[in-house]
Amino acid sequence: LNNDIEPLRTPDNKWSISNELYPEPYFPKYCQGAGFALSWNFIRCSSKSSSLSSSTGSNSGSKNNHLNEHHHSNHIANIRFMPFEDVAVGLLAKRCNIQPTTIKNENLMNMYRFGRSEEVWRTNNNQGKM
C-alpha cells in the first residue's frame, strides 16, 4: 500500500510523469503489486454498467445509497488519463470514497490452486504458467 508518494518528475526515468499530466504533489493512496482485489462497491461505483447497479436495488433509505449516487457518475469514463494502472485505480478509489487497504491476515489469501509442492515451487520461482 502506497501513501504520500511524490510523482517522479525527471524525464529520463521510466516512472516519470509530467506536471501537465499530473499536477498534484502526491499520488492518492493506491495498492501496488502483481494483483489486488477489488470490492463490488468499487466496481459498482466506478462502472456505468446497469446490470451492476441493479444489484444494489433502489433503496433510497439504504446505507449503501451513496454507492448508487457515485455509480451514476461513471467515474471510469470521466477520469483523466493516468499511465500507471495502480495509480489509476487509486484515483478511482478516491473518487468513490473507498480507502485502499492491505490485508490484515495473509492466511486469508490463497496463492496456489492445489498447494502441491511443485506448484508452490513454480509459482515462487516464476517457472511456467499455472
For residue 92 the three cell numbers come to 478511482
The 8-class DSSP code of residue 2 comes to B
Q: Would the pTM of this model clear 0.75, i.e. be above it?
A: no
- Above 50 in pLDDT, residue 64? no
- Above 50 in pLDDT, residue 59? no
Q: For residues 7 and 16, what is the distance between their CA atoms, to the nearest angstrom?
A: 7
Residue 123 pairs with which residues in a beta bridge?
A: none
Residue 64, Cβ density class (10 Å: 0-12 exposed, 13-18 middle, ≥19 buried)? exposed
- Above 60 in pLDDT, residue 30? yes
- Strand residue runs (E) in 3-92: none
Residue 33 or 8, more confident: 8
Q: For residues 90 and 109, what is the distance between their CA atoms, to the nearest angstrom?
A: 21
